Amino acid sequence: MSLEQNRGVKFYAMGNNEFNNGNYKAALKFFNLSLRHIPNHIPSLNNKGLALRHLGKIEKAIKYFDTIITKDPKYHLAYYNKAVCLACLKKWVEARELFEKALKIDPFDHLPADGMKTMEKNIEIYHKLGDEEYQKEIESNCYAPLRFLF
């Protein structure tokens, strides 16, 4: 591993640590540093997208997941994470397709199936609450994975 790659991996690990502690802005800075040293590092791109989603920047997050899908179409987590973002935006048909794609790529990962089930429950809640009440709920919960109301 080159010195640049070594630095990139260290920044990636630091970003993961900050992310796991809920410090999404700090995590984002470390993922950016990682990408300066390893520009096409798929895990850094993915986790940068996750940090953006947790910061409420869903449209920006989707762009990173799209970049990953272009660079590595077999990276199923990019489809899953984009699906979660689309579900947050109530683009449920597109989200369902991406959950299914992720599941097709890796049928042993429970996240896509769980994500689809959660989204189906959220759709039911949406129909019960209506748009305005649902939106209040989703604003506080959309950024956490695999909870009711993404």
Walk me through the domains of the chain, giving residue ranges and CATH numbers.
3-141 (1.25.40.10)
Q: What sign results for the dihedral spanned by CA atoms 99, 100, 104, 108?
A: positive
Sequence-separated contacts (24+) of 4-11 with Cβ below 8 Å? 4/37, 4/38, 5/37, 5/38, 7/37, 8/33, 8/34, 8/35, 8/36, 8/37, 8/38, 8/41, 8/44, 9/34, 9/38, 11/37, 11/44
pLDDT band at residue 131 using 50, 70 and 90 as cut-offs: confident
pLDDT value, residue 141? 59
Mean pLDDT of 10-26: 96
Helix (H) or strand (E) holding 83: helix 76-88
- For residue 130, the model assigns a pLDDT of 82
Q: Distance (Å, rounded) from C-alpha 81 to C-alpha 59?
A: 12
Total Cβ atoms within 10 A of residue 148: 12
Query: Per-residue pLDDT for 143 more than 60?
Result: no
Instruction: Report residue 16 as tokens.
Output: 């993961």
pTM value is: 0.89
| Confidence label for 47 from pLDDT (cuts 50, 70 and 90) | very high
Residues 58-74, buried b or exposed e (16+ Cβ, 10 A)? beebbebbebbbeeeee
pLDDT band at 97 (very low <50, low <70, confident <90, very high): very high
Whether 89 has a pLDDT exceeding 50, the answer reads yes
Report the mean per-residue pLDDT for the chain: 89
**Nearest one of 134, 130, 128 to 149, comparing CA atoms:** 134
